[in-house]
A = this chain, B = another copy of it.
C-alpha cells in the first residue's frame, strides 16, 4: 500500500520528522511517500498561512494522484485544504487533525488539544465544530511554542507542552490529549508515559485511518460536497490549476 503524506508547509526538515513518525506506526507493506509543498509558507500559523498553503498542497495531491497512490495524508494539524483535496483525489484523504480527534474519541469521553500558538486555537475550534466533535473536546490550549521552535532542542518546547498538558488534565477534566501540531509527532509516546493518559499524535492516527480505509476498499464520496471540480478557465499565475474535467 502506498500512502502519500504531504507536508503543506515548505520546511523539508519538518517533513522528515513527520515521515519518520508515520513510518514507525505503518503496517508492514505500507510505503509512506513523503512530499513537501513546493510553494507557500515555511510554517502554518493562522488563517493567512493556511490560505497561501493551499495551491502547493493541491499541486502535491494532483502529482501523487498522477503517480498513483492508495491514500493521501495532509500533515498539518489545521487540516489545511482537506475538503479541496477530497474533490481532487480519487484516493481517500485524511487530515492529521481530524484523525487525532477521531482516535481520541475512541479512547476518552473528553479530550483536550494542546497546540502551538494562540492564533491557531480558533482554526482548530472551527474544525472541531465542522466535524461535530466540539462536544467531545474539553479545551483547545496553546503552549505558545512556535512551529519552528519544535525543531530546536534548546527552545524548551517539550517542557512547555508538558506543562500545558498538566493544566488540561487538572483544569479541564480532560482524559486524553491530542497534540495539535505535526511537528510534535515524536513527543507523543514520552508525554503519554509522563502523564499516564493517552497522548495522541495526529500523524500516527492518520496513518492508521488511511490504512484502514484502503483495506476496507473505501474512498471519498463523489456526490455532493466532494464532487470533482467543474472544468473551467483559471487565470493568471494559477492558470495551470484549471480543472480539466
**How far apart sit A212 and B102, CA to CA, in the bound complex (Å)?**
12
B92-A106 in contact (CB<8A): yes
Cα(A243)–Cα(B51), bound, Å: 13
- Please determine whether B211 and A198 come into contact, CB atoms closer than 8 angstroms: no
Q: Tell me whether A119 is interfacial, beta carbon within 8 Å.
A: yes
A40 interface residue per 8 A CB criterion:
yes
**A229 contact set on B, CB distance < 8 A:** 46, 48-49
> Would you give the 0/1 interface string for A59-75, flagging 1 where the beta carbon is closer than 8 Å to chain B?
00000000000000000
Asked if A81 contacts B51 (CB within 8 A), the reply is: yes
User: In the complex, A229→B88 CA distance in Å?
Assistant: 28
Asked whether, in the complex, the Cβ of B205 is within 8 Å of the Cβ of A212, the reply is yes
- Fill in one digit per residue for A208-238: 1 if any B CB lies within 8 Å of its CB, else 0: 1101110111111111111101101111111
**What are the residues of chain B within 8 A of A88 when measuring CB–CB?**
48
Residue of B nearest to A199 (CB): B218
Residues from chain B with a CB closer than 8 A to the CB of A83 are 47
A183 on the B face (CB < 8 A): no
CA distance in complex: A130, B54 (Å): 20
**Contact among B52, B204, B224 for A234, CB-based, below 8 A:** B52
* A225 & B40 in contact (Cβ 8 Å cutoff): no
Asked if A28 lies at the interface with its beta carbon under 8 angstroms from chain B, I say yes
Q: Is A180 an interface residue (CB 8 A)?
A: no
Q: Which of B46, B107, B212 contacts A87 (CB 8 A)?
A: B46
Measured between alpha carbons, how far is A219 from B200 in the docked complex, in Å?
10
